[in-house]
Structure 1
Amino acid sequence: MTALIDTRDRGLGAFYGLALGDALGMPTQSLSREQIRQRFDRITTLQAAGADQPIAPNMPAGSITDDTEQAVLVAELLVAGSGRIEPSDLAQHLIDWEAVMQAKGSQDLLGPSTKRAIEMILAGHSPEEAGRFGTTNGAAMRITPVGIAFDVREEARFVEAVKQACQVTHNTNLGISSAAAVAAVVSAGISGASLGEALDVGAHIAQEAERYGYWIAGGRIAARIRWAKQLCAECSNEQLPDLIYDVIGTSVASQESVVAAFALAHQVARGQMLAFDALCMAASLGGDTDTIAAILGAMLGACEGMGAWPAPLIKQIQTVNALDLHPVVEQLLSLRGV
């Protein structure tokens, strides 16, 4: 019974960690480090977005963005398909999701790789072909439900599930391997791995997943995760944000933002900072802050559980977004067989 309770707690920690990181990064997304310093100094709690926020103007503190919304979408498709996602279904749901966002007047729409893939599908291309240019972090940002629903120790089945979730928008070696890395950390954490162990599993699975999808030139995800771990090994918390921003990068490119999330996670694994402090640092970095913090929150929460997150902030996110992730986490864990 203890293992079951711990598994549920870690599943909830992963999904709510994703939402918390997303909401912390919402007001700073697409801003430079200097702009963030001028407006917020640094992020230490949930903040509202100003009128001049380029993507989420005037959104209230605690609001989630596309990262969480699309992860919920993937979770619902997994549950409806008994663990299988049909690429055409994912494509249609993403089209429908963006239409709803546009009707609301939101600027938080599909990312560049997903947008291109959807346009190709609407033009008559197959889902497999549509994702052949997807190298950004869109698949990685919404992959957490796969990590909750599938056990990474069943490696072939796990990677196949990641591929299904990536194919329609990010059917490339970079898109699949970056999503696989994140999902693997989440899955290993839910199975009971420590954060350090789970991060190593993530790098291993990223390397295995590089064999799939269309080949795209670019730094390999697994190699960059390992390089970033070494790069930041002796780094202080004061030095780390600039090193990530200047050297690793914080753009939507998966080789930057996903690797940046791993670099911060390794700092937590080394005992240099607490999980929530790492999320706040991610939200203060500059660049694609909401996605970096969302990915980081999912990985940390899977390994540390709900106790890693301040309960009042989780409550605020639930209230502001009318978001209850408990039922879908239960359903995802049922798919996992726990």
Structure 2
Amino acid sequence: MTKEKMLGALYGAAVGDALGAPTELRTTNQILETFGGYVKEYTLAPKDTFARDYPAGTITDDFSMSYYLMQAIIEHEGNFTEEIAQQAIINWGADDYYFDKFAGPTTRAAIENMKQGLPTDVDPFGLINYSGLATNGGAMKTIPLALLANGDLEKALEYTIWMCKPTHFNSNAISAAAAICCAATHALTESATLESIVAAAVWGAEKGREYGEQQQHISVGVDIAYKIQEAVKIGGQAASFEHLLSETADKVGTNFLVQESIPAVFSLLAGTEGNTMLGIYAAVNVGGDTDTIASMLGGILGGFNGSQSIPQKYIHDMEKVNTTLPLQSTIETFVALCSSR
């Protein structure tokens, strides 16, 4: 891993999150109607989105949770365990600026249980399976773990499981999170290609699902590994940017449930041929859970192409707006820590 690739992964995830916040929940056509065209700059969020009333360029739960994860790992001198993951999540839950506005239903419920000393690894309704908890809140915060894994997919899988256990302990959520983390881990290596990044994602998805099922934390849903491979075919066959967005939204899906949003990342990766900013723009405008899809894809492609693939203006403006978090110093410290391992 080079410093430029590590910075690219983290800033790609942050910029994607901030760019995608205003377009969340809408379809592509609604995005075009609301904003007068495709969104490619930081934009104020409409009143009917989660980011309403916050400045343009604000990060959401996606990268603010990654920030607290990095801080926890820094405080523990590069070590990471399930307990450290849980503490990072609790610390994020105490940040009213980001938690109150952006917390997803699965993470919010888990944090409330943690605060009360209640278990987080049981279905809240006492049902046999965990299908309602197969959301992408585990996957969206795995990019820092990719740096920590230092090219080792087995470690990326292990870290992902620890990250998911406090909030997203079910077969599909772990499968999806492992797909993103393993893809991002491999993207940081010098030998990575788009094909090998997808292969790493498929491997992670298979292993993550296997682990969840072995632990009897099963969520009913389609095979994420299979859907990633099908999504790559769909995105790779798109005839234009507009066609890529419509094919991904209509045939892959962009919902916050993992069987849609995680495969969507790889449809857009294939359709934009691995270009960092074109991939982020596609994710921002594809509709649905745009901030999370853009953050995950930005983390993978930023790591693949390096920080030079992200215009400095996006990074500067995003850091300037999110004044409650020392993003630049934390990112630089975390990169230095991962470089020394």
Q: TM-score range by the shorter chain?
A: 0.7 to 0.9
How is 1:185-264 mapped onto 2 (pairs within 5 angstroms)? 185-192=183-190, 193-213=192-212, 214-236=217-239, 237-264=241-268
CA–CA distance in 1 between the matches of 2:206 and 2:221?
Answer: 14
How is 1:1-338 mapped onto 2 (pairs within 5 angstroms)? 7-40=2-35, 41-50=37-46, 52-101=47-96, 104=97, 108-122=101-115, 124-129=117-122, 133=130, 134-153=133-152, 155-192=153-190, 193-213=192-212, 214-236=217-239, 237-269=241-273, 274-322=275-323, 323-325=326-328, 327-332=330-335, 334-335=337-338, 337-338=340-341
Is 1:21–1:293's contact at 8 Å kept on the other side of the alignment? yes
Deviations 1:234-282 (A, max 9, x none): 212221111111121111101111111111112233x6xx321221121
Equivalent residue letter for 1:209: G
Deviation at 1:327, TM superposition (A): 4.2
Contiguous gaps of at least 5 residues in structure 2: none
Is 1:75–1:332's contact at 8 Å kept on the other side of the alignment? no
Deviation at 1:156, TM superposition (A): 3.2
Equivalent residue letter for 1:321: N
TM-score by length of 2: 0.87
CA–CA distance in 2 between the matches of 1:36 and 1:147?
Answer: 32
Equivalent residue letter for 1:46: Y
CA–CA distance in 2 between the matches of 1:96 and 1:77?
Answer: 9
Over 3 Å counting, the alpha-carbon distance change for 1:115 and 1:130 in structure 2 is: farther
Deviation at 1:332, TM superposition (A): 4.8
Is 2:222–2:259's contact at 8 Å kept on the other side of the alignment? yes
CA–CA distance in 2 between the matches of 1:105 and 1:152?
Answer: 31
SS at match of 1:181: helix
Deviation at 1:91, TM superposition (A): 3.9
SS at match of 1:28: coil
Equivalent residue letter for 1:240: L
Is 2:70–2:330's contact at 8 Å kept on the other side of the alignment? no
CA–CA distance in 1 between the matches of 2:339 and 2:163?
Answer: 16
Is 2:254–2:264's contact at 8 Å kept on the other side of the alignment? yes
SS at match of 2:103: coil
Is 2:235–2:269's contact at 8 Å kept on the other side of the alignment? no
Deviation at 1:90, TM superposition (A): 3.9
Is 2:150–2:338's contact at 8 Å kept on the other side of the alignment? no
| Farther-moved stretch of structure 1 (275-284 vs 138-147) | 275-284
Over 3 Å counting, the alpha-carbon distance change for 1:327 and 1:59 in structure 2 is: closer
SS at match of 1:168: coil
Over 3 Å counting, the alpha-carbon distance change for 1:215 and 1:110 in structure 2 is: same
Deviation at 1:284, TM superposition (A): 1.1
Over 3 Å counting, the alpha-carbon distance change for 1:67 and 1:17 in structure 2 is: same
CA–CA distance in 2 between the matches of 1:204 and 1:337?
Answer: 27
Contiguous gaps of at least 5 residues in structure 1: 1-5
User: How big is the alpha-carbon RMSD for the aligned residues of Structure 1 and Structure 2?
Assistant: 2.4
Deviation at 1:117, TM superposition (A): 2.2
| Farther-moved stretch of structure 1 (118-127 vs 284-293) | 118-127
Q: Give the count of matched residue pairs.
A: 326
Over 3 Å counting, the alpha-carbon distance change for 1:329 and 1:205 in structure 2 is: farther
CA–CA distance in 1 between the matches of 2:98 and 2:161?
Answer: 32
Equivalent residue letter for 1:217: V
